[in-house]
Structure 1
């Protein structure tokens, strides 16, 4: 069955008005979208026209009477959808980074349209037949390795999408896909609403002891911006743990803040209640997996990653869970001793989850004499970028960064840099969107506005998003050590996109398996603690004095503290993700009130159901998995870290020159050539083998996280 036959008749009716900014490719450098020309009313007609245009392009491939070859089939498919690609790159950038009710309404409207559009391609037997015909002739065509890999991936993805189903089964699959994308969109929007409705109002400033003047000013600005009738408003970030838990002296306010975080989406606020949605998502994903011939959704997802099977994922997570929980227990005992010694807390008090960050921070200060307030003046954003993130990239790869103030981003504060090769050749554009704003989703991420492709003659345009609290006007942006780490991490993704050197856009940059994509970004974190790099960016924003050597030594030492909590917190979320997706439709709870019980049982069964260490994300605000993108794939971070830890070891040993820790052009070029430039033009693990000369070993990861006996 095919749904393309009526496309050509409707194409003419959906021609896009030439005045619409998406009607033609952007004339700006590197194809950067002209954000200044875009209005919300441009999106609906542009999406409709883009869908119609690509359907017509697919129809031309499907009905081509000539023998299938690379040009008329593979190249034609890869070239299709240019208009839709342009508009969606801009739309989803605004949806995630700007937000607002109107754009969310458009998002909800077009989500099922796009799901149906994808199905129209992946369930078209005519296109699949042409690919099969091309594959059968491959030995005679002598295809290059990248083209052969693309062809095999298309064939595999058609099968995984359901091309071998009956007509009736295909129709049911379409219904499932349409419903799922609608639910995932709604879940993501409810997560944002939950962050907003869960903000904690503080009337009495005396309760905010422990916060510096800059933070207090930011909380007062939050209250003004949201027009609440209190002096200060503590807004929430996406993960369970909230930054201010480490600093607030008021124990009851800490408890209130953590409860507000954990109760997001549980029904206290009707508009953000996500329970019924996540249950339906889990049930429909399980039903779809069985329709496609898989035991459950997790098995379907694992097959397409480097892990390959859920037993392999379960085995690794189980291997880590017991030692991580044991280490967390040891850390809890230390924190209980600190609580017992706190004169401001009545005797006999028991450590709470809301106390953990506070006393862990005090322990760090006692053991390592580090105070975030003392450290922050040495971590100014611009210096971190220019003398840290960009400097390391220059030392490794020879690239340079040139801010283009003549090019505008999509919101106030978004900055644009042109990235150039060592010889001055333009490589692409890098956009930095570092500040939190109302409507922006939480967390940090990287995405592409333009994918690199030799076939399309395109160089990359990539974006990094963070959620740093904006400073008061005229004040510098001072970061925490964790925010510095996030800068380096997200830029690792950016490098993966910028260095892409492939023919086909489908295989470009970070379009790799989910359990591989975090690997390059995790590796890039290593440079923040390289002596040469940190010695340049960690300087006082007023005096230029470097971070004192003894303080730097303590910062690097303290980074190893708390791995029990950090690993257990992460594993809690990863195991929850697997639990929701390793079930049959009948095993998914049916009542919203059962979500908490399912979650608790899953965590306890896995050995990480620690009351003092809640998972990084609870189910009702676990956007990675129920908003889509990392569903049954949140294990990817630790799976990728196996590759990361092994690669860091390579940089620091074989790649090092004269004790530089691997920060040199030879090591950087090898990493770029073997891995960063390859995108998904070959098996991802083969790219790792090309770098390392062997498969990855888990021992460096176990040592890093303190999980060895």
Structure 2
């Protein structure tokens, strides 16, 4: 029987045939795909014809088609449904893929062809898109060390291989710790917990084969437990377990891996001629240099910290009014903040949550996309997907197929934490039109059998955020995969996702789709008003925990690497005056954005950079007087969502909005400025 990963896929829309792929298929498929890719690279490098855009740059675009197909399926399953076999394969694959990548950039004949085309670019009459792809290809070779020779080239390959292994181990350690920690809840521990949390904890206990409800390290369980449990000692136990992941000694402790990662990243930057890794990384981003990112973060830090300290005084008074003679601690904040929110805004999460059904929020996201961009979602009932919990839709426009969208929404012990969007297949036109297959992965609490899944407002925002990323992929309209969809500057990639969150705040959207799980009645108008009025509630806390993480990330990657990252983390937090009752959103040993790979390393600030733009971008709809204004939506699609990385990010934004914004709209939107 042929390997299903290497055969032609006759499934609907050529979806991966997950139902016939076994773990034993991956290693032989990878080896065959690497062999094919190496042959393709050799053919390009050894081509006797004069280098041209077509026989070199376009040929490189298609050289790894089979390899990309194999890896997209594998990494989806490794991230969403890990098992020991897949984890072992991931560890063995990482250095192999790094080695292949290094072979390409160290191929002198190949690089000479790219250099020759780059040198002749002004005489080639390239289209704007082709010129952009040529520039990005040439730049990627340079930044990967193509101009290094001898021992320096060899060392860079070794460094990149080791970094790939460290990133894989870092991620797998987080999953292992989250999988293993469980806190059983006795009947007395359930006092004060809302029904939705008891239901979710019971479902989690069932998945873990426990006799009763449990709290795991899933955010969808930990956060509401910290919000509602009156048992301070249990809150502390849960909080400490959550925040100390991978810092407890033993094989899954990531602290030594972080130190080695920082040292190797610094060496990589020095080999390439940069002062430090942050300078290397940000050169290609909108910020261009670390100082620009830090300046923005500090502009936000000061008012956020002031707001958080004022809130801390109020929460401390509530704590002491409960007869607790102690300072406000990090495991107290969410509990007393929830009480304060209930008192000040008359918002009770247990009353709000039944109106935020997962299915209805999915419908809301589709409906907003339909009104803005004219797309429709049609369920795919019989598609074989990555997990039984996943579901899929065909995305159409004007009756024509545009993409396939997959949603994998529920937390499970085999899935890594967080939420993300990835493409099982990216859009392109080269070699024939290729329609994208896009997946959103979340970690919402799974309800007991037969009960609807209920979201917090933060969960609903996450759903909209990830669907914004999906729109960026699905509406992509470019020729080359290199610049397709979310293949843009890191501090631009969060613009579509964070912008789409704003439609959740549009009153008419919630009025239509926020319906009660039992009665079907729409959210009462006065509750809707209170929900939206509380939109910036606790924003000091949320901003401080995020900005602190972003500042630590930037500091890690500037100057000499920290020999003791935990000490460096503490020094940064002390220097900026981190409030004692707030912790970093992501402590270093489980800061997956930064250490699971290079994606957000030196770049966690990018959410804030993009938020400057998303606040300004939504103002364009406000200025038009309609959150669904067709003209503004058309410009947004033309210059942002469909353009991918076909032009410089700043150029694209200025084409959409006319100018780059300052942070004023961001501060106002977060309630940190008048």
Match of 1:489 in 2: 465
Q: Does 1:460 align with 2:436?
A: yes
Q: Does 1:639 align with 2:609?
A: yes
Match of 1:328 in 2: 308
**Could you list the per-position Cα deviations for residues 285-305 of structure 1 after superposition, in whole angstroms to 9, with x for gaps in the alignment?**
111111111111111111121
Q: Does 1:77 align with 2:77?
A: no
Change (3 A) 1:443 1:25: same
Q: In the aligned structure 2, how far is the partner of 1:191 from the partner of 1:218?
A: 22
**Could you list the per-position Cα deviations for residues 93-143 of structure 1 after superposition, in whole angstroms to 9, with x for gaps in the alignment?**
001111111101000001000000111112222222111211232232211
What is the TM-score with the length of structure 1 in the denominator? 0.92
Aligned pair partner of 2:328 in 344, 351, 354 = 351
- Superposition pairs of residues 599-678 of structure 1, within 5 angstroms: 599-607=569-577, 609-628=578-597, 629-654=599-624, 656=625, 660=626, 662-678=627-643
Whether the 8 Å CA contact 1:99–1:439 is kept in 2: the answer is yes
Match of 2:287 in 1: 307
Whether the 8 Å CA contact 1:239–1:617 is kept in 2: the answer is no
Whether the 8 Å CA contact 2:197–2:225 is kept in 1: the answer is no
Match of 2:248 in 1: 267
- Superposition pairs of residues 283-298 of structure 1, within 5 angstroms: 283-298=263-278
Q: Does 1:553 align with 2:522?
A: no
Deviates more, 1:317-326 or 1:162-171: 317-326
3-state SS, counterpart of residue 418 of structure 1: strand
Whether the 8 Å CA contact 2:220–2:444 is kept in 1: the answer is no
Whether the 8 Å CA contact 1:240–1:615 is kept in 2: the answer is no
Change (3 A) 1:597 1:135: closer
- Superposition pairs of residues 101-180 of structure 1, within 5 angstroms: 101-180=84-163
Whether the 8 Å CA contact 1:408–1:415 is kept in 2: the answer is no
Q: In the aligned structure 1, how far is the partner of 2:418 from the partner of 2:300?
A: 25
Match of 1:500 in 2: 476
Q: CA deviation at 1:224?
A: 4.0
Q: CA deviation at 1:215?
A: 2.6
Aligned pair partner of 2:204 in 219, 222, 242 = 222
**Could you list the per-position Cα deviations for residues 642-694 of structure 1 after superposition, in whole angstroms to 9, with x for gaps in the alignment?**
1111101111113x3xxx3x213332222111210000011111111111011
Q: In the aligned structure 1, how far is the partner of 2:400 from the partner of 2:55?
A: 32
Match of 1:440 in 2: 415
- Superposition pairs of residues 207-218 of structure 1, within 5 angstroms: 207-218=189-200
Match of 1:430 in 2: 405
**Alignment RMSD (CA, Å):** 1.6
Aligned pair partner of 2:356 in 371, 379, 400 = 379
Match of 1:392 in 2: 368
Q: Does 1:693 align with 2:668?
A: no
Q: In the aligned structure 1, how far is the partner of 2:635 from the partner of 2:161?
A: 44
3-state SS, counterpart of residue 515 of structure 2: coil
Match of 1:13 in 2: none
**Could you list the per-position Cα deviations for residues 388-436 of structure 1 after superposition, in whole angstroms to 9, with x for gaps in the alignment?**
1111111111111100102121101111100000x21110100010111
Q: In the aligned structure 1, how far is the partner of 2:430 from the partner of 2:101?
A: 22
Whether the 8 Å CA contact 2:305–2:540 is kept in 1: the answer is yes
Q: CA deviation at 1:73?
A: 0.8
Q: Does 1:588 align with 2:588?
A: no
Whether the 8 Å CA contact 2:196–2:350 is kept in 1: the answer is no
User: How many pairs align?
Assistant: 672
**Could you list the per-position Cα deviations for residues 43-92 of structure 1 after superposition, in whole angstroms to 9, with x for gaps in the alignment?**
00111111111111111111111111121111101111111011101000
3-state SS, counterpart of residue 447 of structure 1: strand
Unaligned runs of 5+ in 2: none
Q: CA deviation at 1:196?
A: 2.4
Q: In the aligned structure 1, how far is the partner of 2:496 from the partner of 2:380?
A: 26
Q: In the aligned structure 2, how far is the partner of 1:276 from the partner of 1:25?
A: 44
Q: In the aligned structure 1, how far is the partner of 2:205 from the partner of 2:452?
A: 21
Unaligned runs of 5+ in 1: 1-17
3-state SS, counterpart of residue 251 of structure 2: helix
Whether the 8 Å CA contact 1:453–1:459 is kept in 2: the answer is yes
